Structure 1
Amino acid sequence: MTQPREVREAIMSAALVVFTEYTYGGTAMAPLAERAGVAVGSIYRHFPSKEALGNAVYRRWKTRLGAHVIDSVAADVADEPIRARFGRMWRGMVAFAVEHPDAFAFLELQQHQSYLDAENAALTERIYAAAGELISAGQARGEIRPGDPTVLMSLAYGAFIGMCASMRGSGLDEERLALSENAVWDLLRCP
């Protein structure tokens, strides 16, 4: 690795693995540097602090997860049922979690409030807002039960995180995927 971009990428990749394995709070820079194949000083040449590195890793992966969520709910076709949009969002999130299990575990199975910067907080808020807009649209059409959209979205996303955590390592087959999607939709839909 002679190019600064290669070194930065090696550090970011190693940070994701180490943060996932030991948590952000439990990670020391020496094992991270060893995993990246660089000296500890090299990390600080690319990232002024552990917080800056944590924010860079979080931003990279939360942006990618957000694309799955936002893209899946963005299209508002007048005659398309909210259920279909919800299904796209659910399966998009599943696809991300399956394709990037370490990134999903880092993002959603750890606490980040102690170090996230304003840009990452705003990114997270945009993703939640997109999902909340889907809930609100479903309520306006009478397809989703009345109630605070934030609470309903939190219940649905909490179920998703729990499902992914319980399936980590064992995989998610089509039957389990359909069961989980339908169960969460039943939680949201108008009775």
Structure 2
Amino acid sequence: MADSDYSQKDFIGEQVKHEDVVTITRVRSDRVFYRQFIRDPNQAKTSGHPRWYGDKFDLKDDQTWTEPDEVHHVPFTTKKGRQLTVTISGWKQMLMRGTKNYKMKNHPFTLLQIVVRDQERNSIWKPMWLIVIGSRRDELSLVDYYQCYRQRYDMENLFRFGKQRLLMTSYLLDFGQKKFVSVYFTLN
């Protein structure tokens, strides 16, 4: 589980190298993705470069959205007793543009839109978008992904406490050529 800073190609490109890892990361609402292109079997093959990307899917332009592959409505009650409904819409086999080092066309993902509504069907917050990527991502449901991502907020409280009270102020971990996040302690 990761915040939107980790939805970039260089982080995700490293994560998909691990066969048993499923990464769930939040995505900014101004990103553009693509449906995976599937050639019509009746269409003759053309010469030249093969087409990798299908229709554009712009998160801020709902006119580019197709019908979701799955939709789940999950009712829940807040600590104060307020009744809310979470609508989880999922689009499978989505792609993002890659780079020379990270061929993202080879790594389709599931895109989720999370919308929370009250009893009058009014949206509470702006929609949250999540990417679920990894070779074993189809083993869990959309509801499982949402519940896993919600656990991230508990970790954020730990990091805040650790930085303020335990002097956890710096972090660095080296995985070969790339550097990623890990926490270590500094003493003043």
TM range (shorter): under 0.3
**Structure number with higher strand proportion:** 2
Tell me the TM-score normalized by structure 1: 0.26
**Structure number with higher helix proportion:** 1
Tell me the TM-score normalized by structure 2: 0.26
